């Protein structure tokens, strides 16, 4: 059952598994390593895209948090400090512009990448949010190397 539990934990997103009895020096090393990784939030209402970004960003060494709505993003912004937030501008439950403004209010130092699959439809809105301080815009479908380069530059 122990191996199955560890495998299930990794599948669910566990970063590391520490066997018992605890080796406290190893635990402290892992805590220091984890805290040193940039914390990124993805705000998007598409569960498949969020899962893909979760896997991609964790593989690149980021700690990742997901929010599927404006309300979930607002809750996460209350108790966490993010280095970078990727914000879908067209959410089924909420508004990407409000998420950006909540981010600026909660954590003015955080960097924001606007994401959208509606380049033409949302052009004015995106231009407005960029003028308010958003750092970058990435359009769906993503050019993954470009997205990772942008994220790395902003998280650096």
**What percentage of the chain has pLDDT greater than the value 70?**
97
Q: How far is CA 101 from CA 104, 120, 145, in A?
A: 5, 22, 27
DSSP result, 93-128: SS-HHHHHHHHHHH-TT-EEEEEES-TTTTHHHHHH
Hey, is 90 helix, strand or coil? coil
At 77-103, the pLDDT tens digits run 998 899 999 999 999 999 999 999 999
Domains within the chain, CATH numbers bracketed: 1-36 (no CATH), 38-155 (3.40.50.2300)
| pLDDT (mean) for 111-125 | 92
Six token digits for residue 47 = 């569960």
| pLDDT (mean) for 5-29 | 78
């Amino acid at each position: 059952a122990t191996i199955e539990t560890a495998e299930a934990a990794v599948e669910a997103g566990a970063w590391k598994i520490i066997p018992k009895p605890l080796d406290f020096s190893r635990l402290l090393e892992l805590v220091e390593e984890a805290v040193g990784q940039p914390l990124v939030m993805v705000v998007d209402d598409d569960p498949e895209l969020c899962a893909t970004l979760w896997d991609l960003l964790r593989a690149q060494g980021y700690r990742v948090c997901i929010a599927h709505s404006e309300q979930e993003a607002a809750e996460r912004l209350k108790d966490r400090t993010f280095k970078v937030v990727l914000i879908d501008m067209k959410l089924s439950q909420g508004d990407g512009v409000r998420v950006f403004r909540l981010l600026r209010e909660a954590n003015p130092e955080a960097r924001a990448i606007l994401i959208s699959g509606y380049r033409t439809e949302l052009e004015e809105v995106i231009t407005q949010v960029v003028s308010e301080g958003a750092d970058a815009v990435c359009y769906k479908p993503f050019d993954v190397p470009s997205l990772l380069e942008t994220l790395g530059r902003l998280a650096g």
